[in-house]
Amino acid sequence: MFHQVKQTKKNNNLKTTNTMKAQIRIIAFAILLTGIFISTFAQGGPGVSTTASGSASIVTPISITKTVDMNFGNVAVNGNVGTVIMTPGGARSQTGGVTLPASAGTVTAASFTVGGVAGYTYTILLPSSDLTITNGSNSMIVNSFTSSPTPIGTLGSDGTQILTVGATLNVGASQPAGNYTSGTPFSVWVNYN
């Protein structure tokens, strides 16, 4: 009986040892899996990736070229201040002490050709400051610039569009006669949207 008890005790110790070894293996395996799991996420995720490529398209730069200068034509005064308003289409109207003679002279809105990529839209920026035109020591102010199209244009199928610009000529009371011109031209800016 003593031998049987000893044997049973030995078997129980062996079972306990085997159970503990199994538990240690399970714990070690769990620690190993935890380490792999943490390592995988520390590297940025579950290890799945893909690729992408980069590209760019260089487009034709936008350009603007003057084709016609602005000319208000012949203007008569009667001793009072007035204005000549020219539309981008070249039509004139007057206010105040200004009359427009039947012999109009050369009347033209400024005209520009805008070029670039067909179908692209562009923004138009007109002068915000006055343009001074002079004849010797005499001067007049041109301001309130307008354009057609405005404020956004669209380049045609050939990659161009005509842009015309009108403005207001401010005429002084008894403005001295003569041909008035600007010492420096005015600028019109265009830029792709």
Residues 29 and 69 grouped into a single domain:
no
Q: For the chain, what is the domain count?
A: 2
Q: b vs e for 114-139, b when ≥16 Cβ sit within 10 Å of the residue's Cβ?
A: bbbeeebebebebbeeebebeeeeeb
Residue numbers of the domain that contains 150: 63-192
pTM exceeds 0.75 for this model? no
Is residue 53 included in any domain, yes or no?
A: no
Is residue 52 included in any domain, yes or no?
A: no
Is residue 58 included in any domain, yes or no?
A: no
Q: Give 176's DSSP letter.
A: P
Using alpha carbons only, give the angle 178, 182, 184 rounded to the nearest 5 degrees: 160
Residues 166 and 104 grouped into a single domain:
yes
Residues 178 and 116 grouped into a single domain:
yes
Bridge partners, residue 92, by sequence: 86
Report d(CA 74, CA 91) in Å as an integer.
Answer: 13
Is residue 54 included in any domain, yes or no?
A: no
Polymer length in residues for the chain: 193
9, 11, 12, 15 alpha-carbon torsion, rounded to 10°:
160
Is residue 26 included in any domain, yes or no?
A: yes
131, 132, 134, 136 alpha-carbon torsion, rounded to 10°:
-140
Residues 89 and 160 grouped into a single domain:
yes
Place of tokens 């569009």: 161
DSSP 3-state of 10: helix
Is residue 173 included in any domain, yes or no?
A: yes
Is residue 148 included in any domain, yes or no?
A: yes
Residues 174 and 95 grouped into a single domain:
yes
Residues 105 and 24 grouped into a single domain:
no
Residues 130 and 184 grouped into a single domain:
yes
Residues 38 and 76 grouped into a single domain:
no
Q: What is the pLDDT of residues 125-150, one digit of tens each?
A: 999 999 999 999 999 999 999 999 99
Residues 36 and 111 grouped into a single domain:
no
Q: What is the pLDDT of residues 68-97, one digit of tens each?
A: 999 999 999 988 999 999 999 999 999 999
User: What's the half-sphere exposure (Cβ side, CA atoms, 13 Å) at 159?
Assistant: 8
Residues 174 and 107 grouped into a single domain:
yes
Is residue 182 included in any domain, yes or no?
A: yes
Residues 83 and 37 grouped into a single domain:
no
Residues 165 and 105 grouped into a single domain:
yes
Regions of the chain with pLDDT less than 70:
1-18, 28-30, 32-46
